[in-house]
Structure 1
């Protein structure tokens, strides 16, 4: 039965890998290259899973995760999508209409070249080409703001959940061996002897206490008993009175 489970496990793992690398990843890759929304969504999902799964927050390094994803998002998703580009269109609206195009050229199987073209079409028909540096800077700032908001929300939501799963109780065999029982008994006997050894007033002190009591000095007699024993005040008082 154990061997059957191992073979089924290997078969299941191989099937998952075939589906993942033979169908799943190529589809995701094509979406990432040719779909403007797919790039942004995939980056956002991966960022959310990392922050939520690893419990990142502003006190334990969330700022580094935001900086890392913003830096890579600046290059991977430089073209953005129509929603992400709305603020950029509003910024250049006083000059003209934003023209942002991304060209994906496949020169050989598995070899892609992606280029971004940023320009402004003025009302008179003049096309002003801008450096893609401005696009990268805009995308970096945009991702930093977006990931800061998403990271703050995710860390707040994750912080309300349990820190860790409760530990399952396990039964422990508490049976003592004969050798352990002997050691426990010896230790208990030692502690009992140590506790009673200070309850007995030494003989030489007893004579001194009797003399102090005879002289009417009860308080010094009680103090003397307590100095040489562990008796509490009430017990030491009764001891002196009963002598």
Structure 2
């Protein structure tokens, strides 16, 4: 009975979570991304900062690739931008007229959206000059490239001030070795050195016997004899006999 109650409770909690997630959270997030001019740019910058800090990317450690990937991705995701990002573009076209960047969001079915970006210049005489969206993509590429480069430089300086925990742990372990641990380490190093100097070549009298066995065509007894008087493996002993 208790087990069945736990199962029913788990199913209820799972169903409630799915209803909240797909019925309220995801639609709210989607609406914010589609209709809020600032949230896309801020989210992209936040994700970029987290990736750079988590992996400690700097100009000396591959941050240029991260900047390139995020610039291309942001250019496609945040094409329309926001009033702050579009302000330099407004200054550029101000001698011609007033910049207008618009984004049409058409909802055809639940979860199905069609997004179209438009860029026009409203001239002083009321004429509307429609520009190709390619200019908007080009501007957004340059804008995000500059933004991520500046942010990457700042984050690189922050990373340089962060403590190198791994390096400190290694140094601490070396500095606080006890005398007993030092003796054990020295003994282990000596054992490994002696193991490295093991028997690799049989004595001269054994070599003569091995040569004779090989001449007689008795390769297997010759290999066994080599292995008895050396530390060679079966394959190594076979190669040794064949080279004699």
Normalised by the length of structure 2, the TM-score is 0.61
Residue 39 of structure 1: SS of its match in structure 2? helix
Match of 1:95 in 2: 96
Aligned to 1:69: 70
Task: Kindly report which structure 2 residues correspond to 1:40-51, keeping only aligned pairs within 5 A, or say none.
Answer: 40-51=41-52
Q: Which has the larger radius of gyration?
A: 1
Deviation per CA, 1:90-135, whole angstroms, max 9, x where unpaired?
A: 0000000001100111111111111011000000000010000000
1:78 matched residue in structure 2: 79
In structure 2, the partner of 1:113 is 114
**What number of residue pairs does the alignment pair up?**
167
Change (3 A) 1:135 1:112: same
* Alpha-carbon spacing, 1:103–1:15, altered in 2? closer, same or farther (3 Å): same
1:144 equivalent in alignment to 2:148: no
Match of 1:27 in 2: 28
Equivalent position of 1:207 in the other structure: none
Q: How far has the Cα of 1:15 moved from its partner?
A: 9.9
* Gap change, CA 1:163 and 1:26, over 3 Å in 2: farther
Any stretches of 5+ residues in structure 1 without a counterpart?
1-6, 188-243
Distance 1:24 1:58, change over 3 A: farther
CA drift of 1:27 comes to 2.6
1: CA distance between counterparts of 2:47 and 2:118?
A: 27
DSSP 3-state at the match of 1:103: strand
Pairwise CA RMSD: 3.3
Q: Structure 1 length normalisation: TM-score?
A: 0.61
SS in structure 2 opposite 1:100?
strand
